[in-house]
Amino acid sequence: MLLEETLMNPLQKYRFSCTLTFGDIYGQVMVWLIVIFISLASAIAMYENPVYAFLTGGLILVLSLPFLLFAFVTTLLNNIELKPMEETAPRSQPVPPNSNPGQPGAVQPS
């Protein structure tokens, strides 16, 4: 049975861990905020014609979004680790309290 389980799920002996910290994405958040503010500034500058303002802001966001998402996803995937789990010895039966015959008040087997 154990062999079948191992063959069906070969990743069960590994542990996933994500080492992503805020410092890893801090620069990306700052770039995204700068892009948003540039988009808003360009839209406000062209507000005399609202169609041009909307198209300019939308164009900046649409052209930058795939690159920013790609950078974030690759950063996330680069910080996921797959570590092998250590083999543990099979558990023995726990010793019940007061089973030591030398102790006073211990239960003696009959």
> What tens digit of pLDDT does each residue of 63-81 get?
888 998 998 899 988 988 8
Structure tokens at 40: 């808003």
Task: Identify the DSSP state of 99.
Answer: -
pLDDT exceeds 70 at position 6:
no
Is 19 or 13 the better-scoring residue by pLDDT?
19
Tokens of 11: 């990743």
Cα-Cα-Cα-Cα dihedral sign, residues 93, 97, 98, 102:
positive
CA distance 66 to 68: 6
With a CB cutoff of 8 Å and minimum separation 6, the contacts of 24 are 75, 79
Question: What is the pLDDT averaged over residues 21-39?
Answer: 88
